Amino acid sequence: MTVVYLVRHGVTAHTGKRLSGRLPDIHLNDQGRQQAEAAATFLSEVPFQAIYSSPLERCWETAEIIAARHRRLRVRRSAGFEEVEYGTWSNRTFPSLRRTRLWRTVQMWPSAARFPEGESIREVQTRAVDEMEALRAKHPRRRICCVSHADVIKLVIAHYLGVHVDLYQRIVVEPASISILGVGEYGPRLLALNQMPFKERD
């Protein structure tokens, strides 16, 4: 069984305010770095064979903090785990997005949703699951870490749980949380979901 630790990046100045999408130069803030350090401490004794990351800065920085506890490993780029291409929705505030007709579709019928000038939800799930399967084949019976984004992680988990894509929004993946999937000869197992190895601020 290959065991994959799916880690969401820590918070940025945009988190909860704007949809960052694939905008460049969105970095962890102080709280995000603290969250990543806590996740790194939690994962420090896991014998990873490899650490992968979305190429976006907020994920790469989180992955580098984790990799610092595993001196022999360097972070590898994973385009399959990159953020959703939100198209013209990128960098918009959440209040402005909630006023669009597409917002309700994304929440209630995501399998029918395509972001303007961007990806569809189904396309995101397909390329992320394809990446999972490629990494599983590359690292049989090993443990690996993959740092990615909320929607990408939720869609991967939904696939391996056999949950229809229209229900993926029911899965919660907080910043810097850790979810663990084991995938082997006899199918997948969700070993942990949304573990948060740090204290949330009041």
Q: Provide the domain count of the chain.
A: 1
Answer yes or no: is 104 within a domain. yes
- Per-residue pLDDT tens digits for 106-148: 999 999 999 999 999 999 999 999 999 999 999 999 999 999 9
pLDDT in tens, 162-199: 999 999 999 999 999 999 999 998 999 999 999 998 76
Q: What is the residue range of 57's domain?
A: 2-195
Q: How confident is the model at residue 201 (pLDDT cuts 50, 70, 90)?
A: very low
Output the domain CATH number for residue 68. Answer: 3.40.50.1240
Q: Which residues of 123-161 are buried (b: 16+ CB within 10 A; e: fewer)?
A: ebbbbbbebbeebbeebeebbbbbbbbbbbbbbbbbbbb
Sheet bearing 187-195, strands edge to edge: 75-77, 48-53, 143-148, 2-8, 178-184, 187-195
Provide φ and ψ at 188, rounded to 5°. -90, 155
Does 76 score more than 90 pLDDT?
Answer: yes
| pTM assigned to the model | 0.94
Question: Is 200 part of a structural domain of the chain?
Answer: no
Residue 201 falls within a domain, yes or no?
Answer: no
Partners of 113 in the beta sheet?
A: none
Which tokens go with 181?
A: 């999937």
